[in-house]
Amino acid sequence: FRFSRRPDLGDSIRVSFEFFPPKTDEMEARLWETVTRLKPLHPDFVSVTYGAGGSTRERTARTVARILHQTHLAPAAHLTCIDASRDEVDAVIRQFAELGVKRFVALRGDPASGVGTGYQPHPQGYANGAEMVAALRRQGDFDISVSAYPEKHPESPDFATDIDMLKRKVDNGATRAITQFFFDNDIYERYVERVRRAGIYIPIVPGILPVHNIVQVANFSARAGAHVPAWLRERFDGLEADPQTHALVAAAVAAEQVQDLIERGVGDFHFYTMNRADLAYAVCHMIGIRPRPNEGASAKSAAA
Ligand code: FAD
């Protein structure tokens, strides 16, 4: 059985968790339960997304500020340039820097109408992720993550164009790339080989999406530039009305994916949590990432 406990792993593996800014008080309470549950796992950082078209600017800032002020966690603020002038983006960077934010995820973003609906740069704006990295670098000595697409971005004509954009981001000062989620580790490995051949040496951190809802994942994956393999759908077949078994299968699938990546030499993982702790927590537990003994987090203490 491949998931026998590997207590040695926890020390050499680093994880980060991604959240989205909550819209309502109820969602805020749920996010905070999630943060409380995950924080004893000592993630390298936690990131907070920026809504389509910059629509969550204030909520992203509030969430990042709360993480900074109420936890020991290092927050990374996502930032997009879509629908914003350079002056507006620069002002948001200053606002985050004044809050004490030292990490960013620099992105282009998608039109509010959705991916692939015709991206147009703002006439006075930054045009893409690479220009966003340069804008951040001009303003401070930040840790800057960028996106990477193992199955290529849906708008990229080919892999060469896609990897060229990643190279521009690195040349402008990106320190790490986080991938779009994927389920087939061979695709990730081939992508990393291509990236290295292009002379890019920053960490390409796999983005892991524990499957909270297979139907939703299948619906948005094509737009996100990721495919859901038939074998994965098949594992969840018939579980639409059985959330408990769905969750157990999802934890097993994500743990299997992460374990396999570890065996291929990967040491950093970024979890798309969807603001829910359980699946990410379970996977971390299985790879040896656990609260320190005196921190003893449990589902109970998280709820307290
Ligand atoms: P870029 O890196 O600028 O470009 C993406 C690809 O498009 C490039 O690789 C390139 O091949 C192609 N491309 C761009 N410009 C050109 C051109 N002129 N000619 C030819 N090809 C071109 N979205 C949000 O709104 N908020 C978030 O918080 C957010 N967080 C994300 C976090 C991660 C880790 C990832 C992977 C994605 C995230 N996204 C987020 C989604 C992202 O905004 C979309 O995927 C968007 O379509 C592209 O943004 P980007 O920064 O990857 O773009």
pLDDT, tens only, 40-97: 999 999 999 998 766 788 899 999 999 999 999 999 999 999 989 999 999 999 999 9
Q: Which is the catalytic residue, given 18, 33, 240, 256?
A: 18
pLDDT, tens only, 268-287: 999 999 999 999 999 999 99
Cα 17 to Cα 148: distance, rounded to the nearest angstrom: 17
Collapsed DSSP state (helix, strand, coil) of residue 179: strand
Report the separation in Å between the CA atom of 261 and the middle of ligand 1, taken as the mean of its atom positions: 24
pLDDT, tens only, 86-138: 999 999 999 999 999 999 999 999 887 766 667 888 999 999 999 999 999 99
Q: How far is CA 124 from the centre of its chain?
A: 28
Residue with CA closest to ligand 1 atom 8: 162
Q: What is this structure's pTM?
A: 0.94
Q: What is the gyration radius of the CA atoms in the chain, in angstroms?
A: 19
Atom of ligand 1 nearest to the CA of 169: 2
Atom of ligand 1 nearest to the CA of 270: 34
pLDDT, tens only, 177-210: 999 999 999 999 999 999 999 999 999 999 999 9
* E strand or H helix at 201: none
Output the DSSP codes for 74-121: -EEEEEE-TT--HHHHHHHHHHHHHHT--EEEEE----TT-TTS----
Q: In this predicted model, which residue has the larger pLDDT, 159 or 293?
A: 159
Report the separation in Å between the CA atom of 302 and the middle of ligand 1, taken as the mean of its atom positions: 34
Residue with CA closest to ligand 1 atom 35: 147
Report the separation in Å between the CA atom of 229 and the middle of ligand 1, taken as the mean of its atom positions: 23
Told to judge if 18 belongs to the known catalytic residues of this protein, a careful annotator would answer yes
Beta strand residue intervals within 103-175, DSSP E = 103-107, 143-148
Q: Is a pLDDT exceeding 80 seen at residue 3? A: no
Q: Tell me which residues have their CB closer than 6 angstroms to ligand 1.
A: 49-50, 52, 78, 80, 105, 107-110, 115, 128-129, 147, 153, 155-156, 161-162, 165, 178, 180, 207
Atom of ligand 1 nearest to the CA of 78: 28
pLDDT value at residue 123:
94
Residue type, 197: R
pLDDT, tens only, 205-242: 999 999 999 999 999 898 888 999 999 999 999 999 99
Backbone CA torsion sign across 250, 255, 258, 264:
negative
How wide is the angle at C-alpha 204 spanned by C-alphas 77 and 9, nearest 5°?
A: 95
**Entry field: residues in the chain:** 304
Whole-number Cα distances in Å, 254 to 133, 247, 292, 304: 31, 10, 23, 28
Cα 249 to Cα 255: distance, rounded to the nearest angstrom: 10
